Amino acid sequence: MTASVETLLEALPYIREFHGRTVVIKYGGAAMTDESLRDGFATDVVLLKYVGLNPVIVHGGGPDITDYMQRLGMEVRFIEGVRVSDPATVEVAKMVLLGKVNSDIVGRLGRHGQAAVGLSGEDGALFEIRPHERADDFGFVGEIERVSIDVIDHIAEDYIPVIASVGVDSDGHSYNVNADTAAGKVAAALCAHKAIFLTDVAGWLADPDDEGSVRSRATVSEVEAALGSSAGGMRPKLGACAEAVRGGVGSAHIIDGRRPHSLLLELFTDAGIGTMVTPDALETT
């Protein structure tokens, strides 16, 4: 058999399993900074829709926001992987996420053959937001109290929903929301089959300085136990994986967005890649 036929046959059981299922994909970081990776990502998502999955994209845009803030001479600061957000920072984040990143993704998906619709937390009252419990440290960083999935479900019937992780509270103040956190909430609210987080490392690393130390599997309890000692952007990502799986999502995956077509490799090959977070094994009595 030729390799391409084998590849298709390997994919078949996965295509069958995933048909009609919702997959929430958190897009950001490395897979967003390189033109060919951006295009590869769009091709992959379009393919998912064509083979009958229901892809929902939640994106950040950290590097772009930082780039524009620096162009404007603004100070960029992170605490525990969360961007410290004064009102001016939120304004720039909102403009960059919606005006640039979101519209780029929507346009690209359209050009590859699947029409997409861009949304922020305000559209269709998607996110109900309250200030983060550590507002004194983080500023206008919002926590999502509730995800109203109606608008996603309506759009997903015909289009690919592309969600920017910003929103407003009931008083009309804008908030920056960590995109991993938002993706975890959206996945849980949709009771998605999978939540997949594309990042700029090979997965969750046992030793952050050793790319070879990827933990290929972890249970949700193991992830929760490691949260306190996790650093940087991995902390909200692991928190989001735990939230998704506790909320009923079948599995959460942290995969290498630098690798071309990492989404397809994760979904349709036996090997899988990166880190898979699963529910705790059922106790056997």
Cβ contacts of 174 within 8 Å, gap of 6 or more:
87, 90, 91, 94, 140, 166, 167, 168
104 binds ligand ADP (CB under 6 A): no
155 or 241: CB nearest ligand ADP: 241
Q: What is the DSSP string of 168-193?
A: E-TT--EEE--HHHHHHHHHHHHT-S
Q: Does 61 sit near Mg ion (CB under 5 A)?
A: no
Selected range binding Mg ion among 100-108, 113-121, 158-166, 229-237, rule: CB under 5 A: 229-237
Q: Which of 18, 127, 204, 268 forms a contact with ligand ADP (CB under 6 A)?
A: 204
CB nearer to ligand ADP: give 83 or 94: 83
Tell me how long the chain is: 285
- Under the criterion CB under 6 A, does residue 184 sit at the interface with ligand ADP? no
Q: How far does CA 113 lie from the centroid of its chain?
A: 22
- 118 near Mg ion, rule: CB under 5 A: no
**Which of residues 161, 203, 233, 239 is near Mg ion by CB under 5 A?**
233
Site for ligand ADP in 25-54 (CB under 6 A): 28-29
HSE (side-chain half, CA atoms, 13 Å) at 259:
16
Q: Residue 117 — φ and ψ, nearest 5°?
A: -130, 130
Type of residue numbered 10: E
The minimum distance between CB 62 and Mg ion, in angstroms, equals 6
Distance CA 176, CA 249 (A): 24
Among 3, 5, 231, 271, binds ligand ADP (CB under 6 A): 231
Smallest distance, ligand ADP to C-beta of residue 125, A: 26
CB of 204 to Mg ion, least distance (A): 13
For the chain, counts of helices (H) and of strands (E)? 12, 14
Q: Count other C-beta atoms under 10 Å from residue 115's C-beta.
A: 11
Binding mask 236-255 for ligand ADP (x = CB under 6 A): -x------------------
Q: How far is the CB of 36 from ligand ADP (least distance, A)?
A: 18
Total residues at the site for ligand ADP (CB under 6 A)? Answer: 17
Gap between the Cα atoms of 28 and 271, Å rounded: 23
Of 22, 53, 58, 62, the residue at the interface with ligand ADP (CB under 6 A) is: 62
Strands 82-83 and 78-79: antiparallel
Which amino acid appears at position 65 of this protein?
Answer: I
Binding residues (CB under 5 A) for Mg ion: these are 233
Binding residues vs ligand ADP (CB under 6 A): 28-29, 62, 81, 180, 199-201, 204-205, 208, 230-234, 237
